[in-house]
Structure 1
């Protein structure tokens, strides 16, 4: 399995903004060029739950 790309502060800020705007996780995944599961995991890690798939 390939090593996952780390999350930059900029990427986390973008993720928070998209979550605040209620953008679906699938769209976040495409915009951030990361797997859906990685986006969901990071949202959970930073305490942003309840974002739509």
Structure 2
């Protein structure tokens, strides 16, 4: 999922440089949403790993 967030970020940067503001904004928004989903899953997996180690 982080891979796709980075892909959309690169698309947003390229579209922004070329002057396609709407496409750049949409791609940046998708990248941001995917990044936060990835971050949430990372925190959840770290918490589960911490609790399983405590047993």
Bucket of the pairwise TM-score, normalised by the shorter protein: 0.3 to 0.5
What TM-score comes out, normalization by structure 2 length? Answer: 0.35
Query: Which protein is richer in helix relative to its size?
Result: 2
Larger gyration radius, structure 1 or structure 2: 2
